[in-house]
Amino acid sequence: KRPDIFDRLTEIREKPDITSHKKLKTQLKERFTHVCEGIDQQKISVLLNEIYTDLYIIEGERGDVNTQHEIKQVQDAKFKPAKEEKSIKYCDIFRLDSDNKPIKTVLTIGVAGIGKTFASVKYILDWAESVT
């Protein structure tokens, strides 16, 4: 084994190359600033930040399979007791948990068309634009 190679790999892992980091952010901004919405034949390119709306996000897992339409789901959620589910703001998804550890994994589930993909793209775009 060569300690110089090991040291260099450790350095690369601990201190990412700033140029590569900036290049990645630039590429992500180019790819995700505009999104297409609508059916395949009539897709319209729009700014994600102009059309994005917040989702009803909860902490933990629900356990049951949700088959409700998203509008009914949000309406019903307003009347649920607070102890059942803890609502989370979009900007708090990757904040430190109760043990002051960073959140590294987020599982996004919900009915088709509710906005899971757009939410994921929004997280990526906000990171690339250094939005907190």
- Over residues 27-50, the pLDDT tens digits come to 999 999 988 876 666 677 888 888
- pTM (2 decimals)? 0.61
Buried b (16+ CB within 10 A) or exposed e, 114-128: bbeebbebbbbbbeb
Question: What is the residue-wise DSSP string for 3-35?
Answer: HHHHHHHHHHHHS--HHHHHHHHHHHHHHHSEE
- Over residues 61-120, the pLDDT tens digits come to 665 555 555 555 555 555 555 456 778 887 788 888 888 888 888 888 888 888 888 888
Torsion angles phi and psi, residue 7, rounded to 5:
-60, -40
Q: Where are the domains of the chain?
A: 1-52, 56-114
